[in-house]
Amino acid sequence: MFGAPKTKDLTPMQVKAALDADQILLIDVREPDEFNAEKISGALNVPLSTFNPTGLPDAAGKTVVLQCAGGKRSAMAIDKCRQANRAIETHLAGGLAAWKAAGLPTVTG
C-alpha cells in the first residue's frame, strides 16, 4: 500500500443521523474541562492526553467516531489508533465547531 490511509470524515449531519439511529459510539478526545463545559449529547470523554486505543470502550458493533473541538486532535487520535492496529478511522470533520455551525444542539455545564 502506498501513502497514508485516508481518514473518514463525517459531516455534522451524518454524525447526528448516526447518533439518532444508535449506529455510532462518539468519543470526544478533548480534555475533561472542555468536555464538561460543552459537549454533544451521547459522547464519551476519552482525552487525547491519556488516549489509549486499546483501552477504548466496547462499541458493541457500532462504528467508533472520534471528535474534538476542530478536527485536529481527533485526527491525531486516529493516528494513535493506526499505530496500535485498531481499525478506527472515522471522525467528525471540523469537530464541535462544525457541529455548532450546523445549528446542532450541545449540552452545557
**Residue extents of the structural domains in the chain:** 8-108
Cβ within 8 Å of residue 35, ≥6 positions away? 28, 43, 45, 47
pTM of the model: 0.93
Closest CA to 60 of 25, 87, 12, 104: 25
Q: Tell me, what's the pLDDT at 5? A: 64
Q: What CATH number labels 8-108?
A: 3.40.250.10
One digit per residue, pLDDT tens: the chain, 109 residues?
A: 455 567 899 999 999 999 999 999 999 999 999 999 999 999 999 999 999 999 999 999 999 999 999 999 999 999 999 999 999 999 999 999 999 999 999 999 8
Q: Tell me, what's the pLDDT at 1? A: 43
Q: Tell me, what's the pLDDT at 6? A: 78
